[in-house]
């Protein structure tokens, strides 16, 4: 992806809209989420494994882009898998890769068995399957999944990342009890931004929940220093969960990022 040549950071500050605009579960999610037959079918056809890691992959007939969706801290689930499922099983120009980390280790693995490069290798392999390059790949994630989405986008020089309330730096992430086990392998993403040559276009959302807000401000400071491009949404949400954008909102934001990248 070409280096972004913006004279200053571009911010779209969006105040919290009416809650109905942020329904996390759409009709398809409700239909399929608790349908064991549907889930078993999707996994039997579209779940694969590489390097000992399971993932879900929806191929496209003529892929123009790849969306990589990183699950948060829930075991055995692929985030938003039903949002992008098609009953005719025909995906035209967008392919979807769903990743998860059932060990709840922020996709980092352990000192003995680090996994960041393994997940990156899976993304690269699927990119190759699709005949795509890094500037055609976008990541999506919330919380632990948001951390992974931004981490992979920075490591691989991807086109963009759509992240909701991600953990960013050790100082704020350690407020989550489950993160403390990762101290020896943790990577501060604000520091990674500061050392990155190319920074993906970024959508960042955080609210009033203190660890989320602190993490968001630390990331924002690094992005400003780098004169990066970010769409920032600051909500009034006082909890870590809830208030997720709809599928349509996510797709529209990523389409906007894609157009911005094409103009460079």
Give pLDDT tens digits for 208-247. Answer: 999 999 999 999 999 999 999 999 999 999 999 887 788 9
pLDDT class of 176 with cuts at 50, 70, 90: confident
**pLDDT at residue 187 greater than cutoff 70:** yes
pLDDT exceeding 90 applies to what percent of the chain? 81
Which helix (H) or strand (E) is 145 found in, with range?
Answer: helix 144-156
Rounded mean pLDDT, 103-114: 97
Does residue 8 carry a pLDDT above 70? no
Q: Between 3 and 102, name the one with better pLDDT.
A: 102
Q: pLDDT band for 17, please (50, 70, 90 cuts).
A: very low
Q: Following CA atoms 254, 256, 261, 264 in sequence, which dihedral angle do they give, to the nearest 10 degrees?
A: -170
Phi first, then psi: give them for residue 5, nearest 5 degrees.
-115, 60
**32 pLDDT above the threshold of 80:** no
Rounded to the nearest integer, the mean pLDDT of the chain is 88
Q: What percent of the chain has pLDDT over 70?
A: 87
- Over the stretch 34-50, which tens digit does the pLDDT of each residue have? 688 888 999 999 999 99
Tokens for 115? 């996994």
Where is 250: in which H helix or E strand? helix 247-262
Edge-to-edge, what's the strand order for the sheet holding 230-234? Answer: 47-50, 53-58, 94-99, 65-70, 137-142, 160-164, 201-206, 230-234
pLDDT, tens only, 188-197:
999 999 999 9
- pLDDT at position 34 is 64
Asked whether residue 18 carries a pLDDT value surpassing 60, the answer given is: no
Q: Which of 16-20, 26-30, 48-52, 151-155 has the lowest mean pLDDT?
A: 16-20
Model-level pTM?
A: 0.89
The whole-number average pLDDT for the span 44-64 is: 97
């Amino acid at each position: 992806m070409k280096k972004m040549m913006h004279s200053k950071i571009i911010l779209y500050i969006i105040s919290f809209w009416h809650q109905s605009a942020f329904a996390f579960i759409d009709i398809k999610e409700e239909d399929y989420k608790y349908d064991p037959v549907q889930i078993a079918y999707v996994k039997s056809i579209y779940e694969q494994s590489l390097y000992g890691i399971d993932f879900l992959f929806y191929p496209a007939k003529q892929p123009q882009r790849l969306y990589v969706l990183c699950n948060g801290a829930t075991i055995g689930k692929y985030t938003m898998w039903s949002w992008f499922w098609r009953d005719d099983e025909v995906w035209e120009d967008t392919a979807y890769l769903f990743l998860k980390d059932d060990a709840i280790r922020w996709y980092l693995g352990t000192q003995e068995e680090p996994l960041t490069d393994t997940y990156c290798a899976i993304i690269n392999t699927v990119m190759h399957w699709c005949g795509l390059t890094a500037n055609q790949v976008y990541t999506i994630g919330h919380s632990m999944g948001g951390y992974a989405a931004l981490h992979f986008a920075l490591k691989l020089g991807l086109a963009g990342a759509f992240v909701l309330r991600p953990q960013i730096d050790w100082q704020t992430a350690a407020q989550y009890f489950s993160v403390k086990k990762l101290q020896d392998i943790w990577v501060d993403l604000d520091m990674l931004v500061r050392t990155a040559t190319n920074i993906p276009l970024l959508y960042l959302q955080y609210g009033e929940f203190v660890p989320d807000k602190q993490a968001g401000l630390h990331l924002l400071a690094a992005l400003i220093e780098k004169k990066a491009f970010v769409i920032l949404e600051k909500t009034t949400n006082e909890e870590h969960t809830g208030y997720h954008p709809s599928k349509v909102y996510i797709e529209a934001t990523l389409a906007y990022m894609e157009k911005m990248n094409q103009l460079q």
